[in-house]
Amino acid sequence: MRRAGALLFSVAVLASLGDGAIDAEARTGGRVLATGDSMIQYVDAALEQRLERRRRVRVASDAHVSTGLSKPSLLNWPRYAERQVRRYKPRVTVMFIGANDGFPMAGRSGRSVPCCGRAWQGEYARRATRMMRTYNRGGDGRVYWLLLPQARGGSFRKVFPAVNAGLRRAARPFGSRLRLIHLDRVFTPRGRFRSVMRYRGRLATVRQPDGVHLTQAGAAIAADKVVAAMDRDHALGRRRKVGAVLKRAFPLPRRSSPARSRAPSGLASR
């Protein structure tokens, strides 16, 4: 009877604590910002499914189609990132952008630099660094920036590696506060384009007919990689299991150490 009563009591306690305290990420009150150009659009929905519905972490989507770091006339991303941080105050930012880049950029000297050499990569890195620093929020935010998987053809084949090279340069100073998600290695190992790939034992069509964007299945894989990186970093809090929750809610009393037996007065102990 005592065991049954204790079991029922424990179940009632766990129910009152809620599922989120048992096997989900600890609630942080923070927000995940998923942003970028059209590349982020399916990925943001996949992140919402994994984080908001399953783990009760809020995901805000802010996609701007046809924009790029080399197209400030349409949207100045370094400045816009500052507005995003003021509005969302993200604990984690997931960025996926670059499909519309490749335009000449004017550096600090004012001279226009064409894509896609080292000078262009350096200017791209400078702009990306400013954004990364903004999203980092002085150490209060983490950034997960997705690298571009190689495209099937056209000028994208030249632009995408240049964008990725610029992002690698930009990410160096940030250490563990910024992670590059290497989707180029996931979807296009050694630069080899694949529209279909095997993932977790199943074949999946991962690229859209344009040879640039990810399909919903591809976006789901990308979201898996992002969430796995977040989990490794404990970016959204550590998982708390049932035993830990019960132990914290109902700490056991400390056992007093047993008293040593003493020999009767006048008798030698053996």
Q: Write down all domains in the chain, each with its CATH number in brackets.
A: 26-248 (3.40.50.1110)
> Residue 142 and residue 134: Cα distance in Å, rounded?
10
Answering whether pTM is above 0.75, one says: yes
Neighbour-count burial of 52, counting CB atoms closer than 10 A to its CB (0-12 exposed, 13-18 middle, 19+ buried) = middle
pLDDT at 182: 99
The pLDDT value given to residue 207: 99
pLDDT digits (tens, 9 = 90+) for 146-200: 999 999 999 999 999 999 999 999 999 999 999 999 999 999 999 999 999 999 9
- Is a pLDDT exceeding 80 seen at residue 267? no
Sole residue written with tokens 């050694």: 190
Q: Whole-angstrom Cα distance, residue 126 to residue 171?
A: 10
